[in-house]
């Protein structure tokens, strides 16, 4: 089986280059850097071509920032690379990831359940992941989460799943991790490995490259709308799980 690692890295984030090199040295499979789409180089026309609010229900209550659009496009680049290189699957990591001692067992478990339409998350906050147990191996549990968790720092994605994601995201209306929760739209059955064997270390690498500064009004709006939206996602997830 041909599996490769793709590390999504923003070229101007020079403070993260050492961590990228560390990941390449530690990973047990061939690795390649995927140059992230830079929000500062996106034109208004490019954003308008791909960003279409209110495409899917439940409607996402916030407008995407240019950084979030760029992040989504960066992950689409990884999905396209899986297809272009005719890989069976790719381990997609972001450049603010550190591997933990649990990684070998987590990656081995993910590979064991890898199928043609696999989308397997390696979460860094395992306490937030709950769902049906699929398999347990050497201390790593594979679950089918409901709802699917957030975060895109570590994912094992098969070629067929990558194609399905590409086909449904020619245009998109929400951040990539929020979109990936919507198995009722993607047609995929995401899994998660607990513990995921990864840690998110952006704070030690100069902070997030994604979150823009927001004023008080925007912050209050998000605090009010976020729980309502999440409640809707849970309802849709449970309905999807019941109909499985």
Three-state SS sequence of 127-174: HHCCEEEEEEECCEEEEEECCCCCCCCEEEEEHHHHHHHHHHCCCECC
pLDDT tens, residue order, the chain (244 aa):
899 999 999 999 999 999 999 999 999 999 999 999 999 999 999 999 999 999 999 999 999 999 999 999 999 999 999 999 999 999 999 999 999 999 999 999 999 999 999 999 999 998 889 999 999 988 999 999 999 999 999 999 999 999 999 999 999 999 999 999 999 999 999 999 999 999 999 888 876 655 656 667 778 878 889 999 999 999 999 998 876 6
Q: Would you say 92 and 75 are in contact if contact means Cβ atoms under 8 Å apart?
A: yes
Q: Tell me the residue length of the chain.
A: 244
- Domain 3-242 in CATH 3.90.550: yes
Nearest to 192 by CA among 152, 230, 141: 141
- 10 Å CB burial of residue 25 (0-12, 13-18, 19+) is exposed
Per-domain residue ranges for the chain? 3-242
**In the chain, what is the greatest distance between 2 CA atoms, to the nearest angstrom?**
51
Helix pair angle (159-168, 66-84), 10° resolution: 140
Q: Would you say 87 and 2 are in contact if contact means Cβ atoms under 8 Å apart?
A: yes
- The model carries a pTM of 0.93
DSSP 82-105: HHHTT-SEEEEEETTEEE-TTHHH
């Amino acid at each position: 089986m041909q599996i490769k690692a793709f590390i999504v890295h923003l070229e101007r984030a020079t403070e993260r280059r050492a961590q990228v090199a560390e990941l390449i040295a530690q990973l047990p499979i061939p690795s390649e850097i995927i140059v992230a789409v830079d929000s500062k180089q996106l034109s208004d026309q490019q954003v308008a071509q791909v960003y279409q609010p209110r495409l899917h229900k439940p409607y996402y209550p916030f407008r995407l920032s240019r950084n979030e659009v760029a992040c989504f496009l960066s992950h689409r680049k990884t999905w396209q690379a899986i297809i272009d290189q005719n890989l069976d699957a790719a381990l997609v990591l972001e450049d603010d990831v550190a591997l933990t001692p649990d990684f070998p067992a987590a990656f081995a478990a993910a590979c064991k359940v890898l199928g043609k339409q696999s989308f397997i998350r390696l979460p860094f906050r395992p306490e937030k992941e709950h769902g049906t147990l699929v398999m347990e191996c050497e201390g790593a549990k594979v679950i089918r989460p409901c709802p699917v968790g957030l975060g895109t720092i570590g994912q094992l994605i098969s070629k067929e799943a990558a194609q399905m994601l590409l086909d449904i995201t020619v245009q998109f209306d929400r951040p990539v991790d929020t979109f990936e929760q919507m198995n009722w739209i993607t047609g995929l059955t995401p899994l998660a490995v607990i513990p995921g064997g990864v840690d998110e270390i952006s704070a030690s690498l100069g902070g997030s490259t994604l979150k823009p500064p927001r004023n008080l009004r925007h912050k209050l709006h998000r605090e009010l709308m976020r729980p309502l939206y999440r409640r809707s996602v849970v309802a849709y997830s449970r309905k999807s799980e019941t109909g499985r």
